[in-house]
Amino acid sequence: MSFSPQSAPLISAEGLTKVYSSKSGPVHALDGLDIAVPEGTVTALLGPNGAGKTTAVKVLTTLIRPDSGTAVIDGINVLTDPKAVRRVIGVSGQYSAVDENLTGIENLDMVGHLYHLPARRAKERAIELIDMFELSDAGNRPVKGYSGGMRRRLDLAGALVNQPRVLFLDEPTTGLDPRSRIALWGVITDLVARGTTLLLTTQYLEEADQLADKVAVIDEGKVIAEGTSDDLKAQIGGHRVAVALHRQEDADEALSILGRHGSGDPHVSGDGRTLEVAVVDGPAALQRILSELEAGSIELHDAGIRRPTLDDVFLQLTGKPAEEDSETEKEEAHR
């Protein structure tokens, strides 16, 4: 057991680069990525599809070699001693890495054997985890018949067989229904409370907010913003106030009202009638904006506040939306 000071990063990476060749030329999956996760804390890598999140996790978990850069986990060099790294980490990937034909217990028992636990201990641990993840009823059934949420839980259980000090979760809740997502968040929160150091990736700002002490926003293979969830929200504004105008002629006046109460520049969406602005204090700002709009006799179709999403983060940080493939959205955002 190591007694590193609380602040020493248990996971650290510096200057990671990885270039893939594709039909349309080289793709810089990682372009100088730096990460530092102190012991006992949770860091979320937040970014859209293709930002390099999965590549980063694969490098740190010994699955792929970077073109350059260094990665150290619990004092072990990932590039020169991958086998030693594998003894201290647990990994749950984006696609449930479980065997369809084996039962839940058989899957976990196999993983226990491959960690070289004594046979009896491997079996015990499998049953413990099946109970912990509320899969007891399905534990002796082949995974084939499991739902998506059950598979995710089993896969996460697989990452915990060896009670790892360092856990990597690549988009743990992508594709899950809201109930399963919240249940999985509960499990992850428990693990972290017991001292597991966690690096997770996500496309959901809300998930990063719920689980992480620190959020690193990544885009095109590097970190473009970093800080606590609160820092990030302060930077991008806590909530969004959106109003839909009845008459387009009111847009200029409404825009200036929103501008006065917002923490950033307001913007107009595609139809020219929906205006939106980031605000610090959501409900109060909405009230002030509504009363000023009323005073200016600007009629509204609709008005409301919403939480910021990954799209807002990206819009704020990069001036472009998160989804790379939607050219029309990009044009609209700049209009």
Partner 1 sequence: MSAAVSATGIRTGTPSLPARWAGDGWTVTKRNLIKIKRSPDMIIFAVLQPIMFVLLFSQVYGGSIAVAGTDYTQFLMAGIFAQTVVFGSTFSGSAMAQDLKEGIIDRFRTLPMSPSAVLIGRTNADLALNGISMLIMMGTGLLVGWRVNSTPGRFLAALALLLLFSYAFSWVMALLGMTVRSPETINNASFMILFPITFISNAFVQSSNLPGPLQTFADWNPVSALVQAVRELFGNLGSAPVPDTWPMQNAVATVLIGSAVMLVVFVPLAVRKFESISSR
Q: Which are the contacts of 93, defined by CB distance < 8 A and separation ≥ 6?
A: 54, 57, 155, 170
**Under the phi-then-psi rule, with left for phi > 0, alpha for psi from -120 to 50, and beta for the rest, what region is 150?**
alpha
Question: Least distance in Å: CB of 165 to partner 1?
Answer: 5
- Of residues 190-229, those binding partner 1 (CB under 8 A): 194-195
Q: Does 24 bind partner 1 (CB under 8 A)?
A: no
Applying CB under 8 A, among 61, 173, 210, 229 the residue interacting with partner 1 is 61
Applying CB under 8 A, among 47, 106, 156, 261 the residue interacting with partner 1 is 106
Question: Least distance in Å: CB of 33 to partner 1?
Answer: 17
Say how many residues touch partner 1, by CB under 8 A. Answer: 45
Question: Least distance in Å: CB of 171 to partner 1?
Answer: 13
What is the amino acid identity at position 130?
Answer: I
- Cβ nearer to partner 1, comparing 166 with 254: 166
DSSP conformation letters of 81-149: -HHHHHHHEEEE-SS----TTSBHHHHHHHHHHHTT--HHHHHHHHHHHHHHTT-GGGTTSBGGG--HH
Q: Are strands 274-279 and 214-219 parallel, antiparallel or unpaired?
A: unpaired
Applying CB under 8 A, among 89, 150, 167, 199 the residue interacting with partner 1 is 89
Applying CB under 8 A, among 29, 33, 37, 117 the residue interacting with partner 1 is 117
Nearest to 44 by CA among 132, 169, 173, 179: 169
Q: Does 47 bind partner 1 (CB under 8 A)?
A: no
- Cβ nearer to partner 1, comparing 98 with 130: 98
Q: Does 66 bind partner 1 (CB under 8 A)?
A: no
Applying CB under 8 A, among 14, 69, 115, 290 the residue interacting with partner 1 is 115
Q: Does 30 bind partner 1 (CB under 8 A)?
A: no
What is the C-alpha to C-alpha distance for residues 330 and 31, in angstroms, rounded to an integer? 23
Give the 3-state secondary structure percentages of the chain, helix then strand then coil, rounded to 5.
40, 25, 35
Name the DSSP letter for residue 18. E
Stretch that binds partner 1, among 113-121, 236-244, 258-266, 269-277 (CB under 8 A): 113-121
For the chain, the residue count is 335
Residue in this structure with the two tokens 């899950």, named with its chain if needed: 176
Q: Does 65 bind partner 1 (CB under 8 A)?
A: yes
DSSP three-state, residue 254: helix
- Cβ density class 292-313: b for 16+ within 10 Å, e for less: bbeeeebeeeeeebeebebbbb
DSSP three-state, residue 210: helix
HSE of 328 in the Cβ direction (CA atoms, 13 Å)? 3
Q: Does 188 bind partner 1 (CB under 8 A)?
A: no
The contact pattern for partner 1, residues 155-174, with x = CB under 8 A and - = no contact, is x--x---xxxx---------
Q: Does 152 bind partner 1 (CB under 8 A)?
A: no
Question: Least distance in Å: CB of 91 to partner 1?
Answer: 4
Q: Does 11 bind partner 1 (CB under 8 A)?
A: no
Applying CB under 8 A, among 30, 47, 108, 125 the residue interacting with partner 1 is 125
Applying CB under 8 A, among 22, 25, 83, 193 the residue interacting with partner 1 is 83
Q: Does 140 bind partner 1 (CB under 8 A)?
A: no
Where on the chain is the footprint of partner 1 (CB under 8 A)? 1, 54, 58, 61-65, 83-84, 86-89, 91, 93-102, 106, 110-111, 113-118, 121, 125, 142, 155, 158, 162-165, 194-195
